C-alpha cells in the first residue's frame, strides 16, 4: 500500500496547478472608432436615386404674373402638340403638383367674379352696412318695448 504520509509529490502537483490557475491578464483593446456623421435619409435617397438628375432646388415664390406666364407657356406647348403635359411642366421648371395648384387657383378666381372689389369700395360698403345694422336694431328695440308694455297692461303689472 502506498504511504499516505508522503506529501512531497502532491505538493509539487498543487504548485503546478496554482501556476496554471493564475488569472490571465486581459488583452488591451484598441479604442473604438467614432461613428460616421449621420446624413439625412432624404438626402441619401435623392443622391442614390438614378432617376433624379436635377439636384433639389430651394423653394421659390413666383409672382402672379410669373405664374400666369408659365401656365400660358405650358398651355401653348400642349395645345401645339410639341410636347406632353408632363414634359411641358418640367420644361417650365415647376412640379406637377405646383402646376395643378396654380391651375385650381386660376379657376377659382375666374369663377369668383369678373373683377375684384377695390379696398375703397369695400370700406364704403362696410360703413353703409354698419349704419343700416344700427338702424334696424333701433327699430327692433322700439317694437320689443311696445310689445312688452302691451303685455304688462294685459297682465295688470303696471
CB proximity list for 89: less than 8 A, separation 6 or greater: 74, 95, 96, 99
Which residues are CB-contacts of 102 (< 8 A; sequence separation ≥ 6)? 67, 70, 71, 94
Kindly state the cell numbers that stand for 78.
400642349
Report how far residue 103's alpha carbon sits from residue 112's, in angstroms, rounded to the nearest whole number.
14
Residue 98: DSSP 8-state: H
Per-residue pLDDT of 60-98, as tens digits, reads 788 888 988 999 999 999 888 888 999 999 998 999 999
Cell, residue 80: 401645339
Report whether pLDDT(128) > 70.
Answer: yes
pLDDT score for 26: 83
Amino acid at each position: 500500500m502506498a504511504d499516505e504520509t508522503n506529501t512531497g509529490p502532491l505538493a509539487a502537483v498543487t504548485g503546478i496547478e496554482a501556476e496554471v490557475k493564475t488569472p490571465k491578464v486581459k488583452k488591451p483593446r484598441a479604442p473604438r472608432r467614432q461613428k460616421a456623421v449621420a446624413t439625412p435619409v432624404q438626402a441619401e435617397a435623392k443622391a442614390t436615386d438614378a432617376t433624379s438628375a436635377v439636384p433639389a432646388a430651394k423653394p421659390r415664390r413666383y409672382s402672379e404674373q410669373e405664374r400666369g406666364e408659365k401656365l400660358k407657356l405650358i398651355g401653348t406647348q400642349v395645345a401645339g402638340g410639341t410636347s406632353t403635359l408632363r414634359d411641358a411642366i418640367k420644361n417650365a421648371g415647376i412640379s406637377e403638383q405646383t402646376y395643378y395648384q396654380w391651375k385650381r387657383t386660376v379657376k377659382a378666381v375666374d369663377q369668383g367674379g369678373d373683377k375684384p372689389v377695390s379696398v375703397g369700395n369695400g370700406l364704403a360698403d362696410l360703413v353703409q352696412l354698419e349704419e343700416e345694422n344700427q338702424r334696424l336694431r333701433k327699430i327692433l328695440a322700439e317694437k320689443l318695448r311696445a310689445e312688452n308694455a302691451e303685455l304688462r297692461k294685459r297682465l295688470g303689472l303696471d
